[in-house]
Amino acid sequence: MQPSRRHVLLAIDSLTGRGAEKVVVNLAEALLALGHAVSIVIYEDIVEFAVDPRIRIHRLQPAQRGRLRLFSALTDRDNVRRFKALLAQIEREQGPVGLILSALPRIDRILSRIRDPRIHHVIHNALSLQNGIRKNGWRKKLSRIWHAKRMYDARQIIGVSAGVGEDLVDYVKVRPAALRTIYNPFHFDQLQELAAAPFKPPVADYVLHIGAFTLKQKRQDLLIEAFAASGLSCTLVLLGKGRDEAKIRAIAERCGVADRVLFAGFQKNPYPWIQHARLLALSSEYEGFGNVLVEALVLGTPVVATACPAGPAEILASMPQMLVPPGDVATFAARLRESYAHPPAIDVASLQRFEASVVAGEYLKLIADHAS
């Protein structure tokens, strides 16, 4: 390998079609476009993305501990051995690895037991909220804090937003060896290309929401209540699927707007829907970042979003008129009404920090840090 060409290994639980997994694929593609070698190691053999064949995907094939926690230490040691053997094989075949990025809990559990300065753990969500640490009783709270500290204390941590890192330190009580913020990467040209696909909107004018149908995090109840209170006569379109769909449909009925809430299901290419929407609304209780906000803004669609811990408030720092306090139905309703009538201006320049090549450059700096 030439010295200027780096080899980055990305380790993740799987490549299912979700947010953190898409971030890994975007980063891999950006590094490849910059002339670097990329390998991906997956814990679970699931690949739902079309990945460039130049990006090698390796299956860890981990040992499973079964039902008895008694054997978890033995299983962990076995999986550490398997990862080290796989890493050695990758380096023999593709050259030395300069940076290892670990994302999501199962692969983090393994890599957190390996002392290697190349390893950085990328945290994609506010763990105290995702794991219920802030709201649980003291026994569960202490147990979950203890497990998180076992994995992440004295480790090199990257938060996908500053809020994610602050949450990890302030509420999960993790004491990392190093803590950095590197935002999620987006291929702006790719988004524009996908948004240009042939599309006939099912309704003439609509407000759009995209997210898993999970009320605990995405708070579609708040969104529907605010939509009903806004007095808007357009349609609210919900893209997604999930276990709470029946509850969300019942909320629309209770609020008297069921005839104006369209459940459009999961869309493999949601970007034409985003580009043709009047507004995109995000009503989450918490987010690690909020990918859909950047995607909407890049496609020229204004947003209304809750300023939930981490992510949205940072993305929209120069566009505060697009933010509303979490859980505030009245303010959300008023902002929907105002933004629908007078769409707020998008600060295009502020989006450049999320462009994939810029973000990839931030990760590549970590290799130079190790060398210095």
Q: What is the DSSP string of 273-297?
A: HHHH-SEEEE--S--SS-HHHHHHH
pLDDT digit string, tens, across residues 126-176: 888 888 787 777 777 888 899 999 999 999 999 999 999 999 999 999 999
Q: For the chain, what is the mean pLDDT?
A: 92
Q: What would the mean pLDDT of 256-263 be, rounded to a whole number?
A: 96
pLDDT tier, 68 (very low <50, low <70, confident <90, very high otherwise): low
Residue whose token pair is 């009925």: 253
Give the rounded percent of residues in the chain with a pLDDT score beyond 70.
Answer: 96
- Residues 47, 138 contacting (CB under 8 angstroms): no
Distance from the Cα of residue 79 to its chain's centroid: 26
Domain 7-185+355-371: assigned CATH number: 3.40.50.2000
pLDDT range class, residue 3, cuts 50, 70, 90: very low
Length of the chain: 372
Convert the pLDDT of each residue in 287-325 to its tens digit.
Answer: 999 999 999 999 999 999 999 878 899 999 999 999 999
Consecutive H or E run containing 178: strand 178-181
311 vs 287: CA distance, rounded Å:
6
Is pLDDT larger for residue 10 or for residue 370? 10
Q: Is the four-CA dihedral 212, 217, 160, 59 of positive or negative sign?
A: negative
pLDDT at 110: 94
Q: Residue 195 in contact with residue 299, Cβ under 8 Å?
A: yes
For the four alpha carbons of 165, 166, 172 and 175, in that order, the dihedral sign comes to positive
For residue 2, name the pLDDT band (cuts at 50, 70, 90).
Answer: very low
Whether 95 shows a pLDDT value over 80: the answer reads yes
Return the pLDDT at 70.
56
Q: In this predicted structure, what is the pLDDT of residue 369?
A: 67
pLDDT value, residue 331: 97
Q: How confident is the model at residue 8 (pLDDT cuts 50, 70, 90)?
A: very high
pLDDT digits (tens, 9 = 90+) for 264-279: 998 989 999 999 999 9
* 122: pLDDT strictly greater than 90: yes
**Residue range 343-364, pLDDT digits in tens:** 999 999 999 999 999 999 999 9
CB 216 within 8 A of CB 243: no
Instruction: Give 15's pLDDT tier (boundaries 50, 70, 90).
Output: very high
Annotated domain spans of the chain: 7-185+355-371, 188-351
Indicate whether 75 pLDDT > 70.
yes
CATH second-level architecture of 188-351?
Answer: 3-Layer(aba) Sandwich (3.40)
pLDDT per residue as tens digits for the range 17-31:
788 999 999 999 999
Please report where in the chains the tokens 């987010």 appear, as a residue: 287
Residue with tokens 């460039």: 52
Q: How many whole angstroms separate alpha carbon 103 and alpha carbon 21?
A: 9
- The confidence band for 72, taking pLDDT boundaries of 50, 70 and 90, is confident
Q: Do domains 7-185+355-371 and 188-351 have the same CATH topology?
A: yes
Two tokens, residue 302: 């204004």
- Residue 286 CB partners (closer than 8 Å, separation 6+): 125, 126, 129, 130, 217, 308, 309, 310
Helix (H, G, I), strand (E, B) or coil at 159: strand
> How far apart are alpha carbons 29 and 25 in whole angstroms?
6
Q: Degrees (nearest 5) of the Cα angle 124, 125, 128?
A: 145
Two structure tokens written together for 139: 């026994």
